[in-house]
Amino acid sequence: MKTNILFLGVVLSAFISGCNKAGVNFLISNQADFRIEGSSPLNLPFEMGTPDVTTNSSQEFQNNNTASNLIKEVKLEELKLTITSPSGKTFSFLKSVQIFISTNSSDEIELASLDNIATTATSISLTTSTQNLDKYVKASSYKLRTRVVTKETLTQPVDIRAAIKFRIKASPL
């Protein structure tokens, strides 16, 4: 009986140790703000950039017991747009939106998008890219470019916050 308990303890210890070596999964969140001007053209795409988004990824990796060279995969978990101004404004004016990501050393790719927007909500979640985004998140900062098509005339600017969540899969230190 004692041998069985001892054996079970060794097996359980090895299993727990193996699970800890399997990998580290965590989220990194960033945000960016942009503005759609009141004089925007109807039914024509137009673009706006955002200031560089600082990733602080090195600190996030360290906080999660991993490092940049141990990152296996980075996927976009969620990209949510929320109108921050004017109060009460909804996304009913917006026909479509595309958000692109780039760095100084990496090509621009589409990060997320949404077409045929038909909502009176003040927040929308975009359809996310399935690409591995590790080179963008590992960088010290990245750039976002937004392309929108409006379906209503805007009489005043609309300020929007993009909340971005990346799912990180990595090996532990």
> Whole-angstrom Cα distance, residue 33 to residue 116?
22
Residue 32 lies in a domain: yes
Please write the tens of the pLDDT for every residue from 72-103. 999 999 999 999 999 999 999 999 999 999 99
User: DSSP class of residue 42?
Assistant: B
**Average pLDDT over all residues of the chain:** 88
Residue 37 lies in a domain: yes
> Whole-angstrom Cα distance, residue 143 to residue 76?
15
Of all residues in the chain, the percent with pLDDT exceeding 70 is 87
Our count of domains for the chain comes to 1
* Domain at 156, CATH number: 2.60.120
Residue 18 lies in a domain: no
Residue 116 lies in a domain: yes
Residue 111 lies in a domain: yes
> How would residue 1 be classed by pLDDT, with cut points 50, 70 and 90?
low
Residue 11 lies in a domain: no
pTM for this model (two decimals): 0.84
**Listed residue (59, 8, 41, 10) closest to 148, CA to CA:** 41
Q: Checking DSSP bridges between strand 94-103 and strand 71-85, what pairing results, if any?
A: unpaired
Structure tokens at 163: 């909340």
What angle is formed at CA 81 by the lines to CA 152 and CA 132, rounded to 5 degrees?
125
For residue 71, the enclosing domain spans 25-170
Residue 63 lies in a domain: yes
Residue 87 lies in a domain: yes
Sequence letter at residue 63: N
Please write the tens of the pLDDT for every residue from 101-151. 999 999 999 999 999 998 999 999 999 999 999 999 999 999 999 999 999
**Listed residue (32, 42, 124, 38) closest to 86, CA to CA:** 38
